[in-house]
Amino acid sequence: MPTPTYTLISETVLGSSSVDIVFNSIPQTYKHLIIESLAQDARTGGNDFNVQFNSDTSSGGTNYSITFVRGDGSTASSGRGVNTYAINFGQDAGSNQGYFSVITGTIFDYTNTNIFKSTLSRGSHPGGSVSATVGLWRSTAAINSIRITGNGYNLSAGMIVRLWGVVG
């Protein structure tokens, strides 16, 4: 049997809309984590796929930051968010649009207690924005839980999030 490279830790498929999706008690035995999602929220056109770690889930938090490149179908842009309360992995599709956007992201070295935690994500919303984003969580804590929200909009029924562990 070939050696596994990715292992599915957990999969959530929303049966009804929800304010968030949370993965708790994440095993500390992998090298990196990967989030893979077909994402949708209640906002017309879709809102942010926001990611927070451990207990750092306050809407008033300041321990995250991002830098991104983005195209919306007519304009290319790049920007930064500093002292934010979450990492925006990309744009959800909206519940009015009949499809889900693809969001993928890697959380590197998530158990390392000597570094702040970095993420690299891609967002692909065929009616919204295409993006690549680097994120930083300014904490040396090992990541044992992940919370995903729609930045104030409920996540839609049918939304799928898979958490993979990368063997290393």
Partner 1 sequence: MGWQLIESQTLQASAASVTFSNIPQTYKSLKLLVSARSDLSANYHNFFSVEFNGSATGISQRKLEGYGGGTVGSNSNTTNTGTVPAAGATTLTFGNYEITIPNYSSTTSNKVTSTDLVTENNASGTYSADAWLQAGLWANNAAITSIALIVQNSANFVFGSTFTLYGLA
Indicate which single residue of 9, 42, 102, 142 sits in contact with partner 1 (rule: CB under 8 A). Answer: 102
96 forms part of the interface with partner 1 (CB under 8 A): no
CB 123 → partner 1: shortest distance, Å?
8
Cβ atoms of 166 and 30 within 8 Å: the answer is: yes
- Which region, judged by CB under 8 A, interacts with partner 1, from 50-58, 69-77, 80-88, 109-117? 69-77
23 forms part of the interface with partner 1 (CB under 8 A): no
End-to-end CA distance of the chain: 18
The interface mask with partner 1, positions 114-153, x = CB under 8 A, is --------xxxxxxxxxxx---------------------
Cβ atoms of 147 and 138 within 8 Å: the answer is: no
- Which region, judged by CB under 8 A, interacts with partner 1, from 49-57, 63-71, 110-118, 145-153? 63-71
The greatest distance separating any two alpha carbons of the chain, rounded to the nearest whole angstrom, comes to: 48
Residue type, 25: S
Residue 135 CA to residue 51 CA, distance in Å, equals 10
Residue 20: which of 34, 44, 37, 45 has the closest Cα?
37
Which residues in this chain contact partner 1 in the complex, by CB under 8 A? 2, 4-8, 36, 38, 69-76, 93, 98-102, 104, 122-132, 158, 160, 162, 167
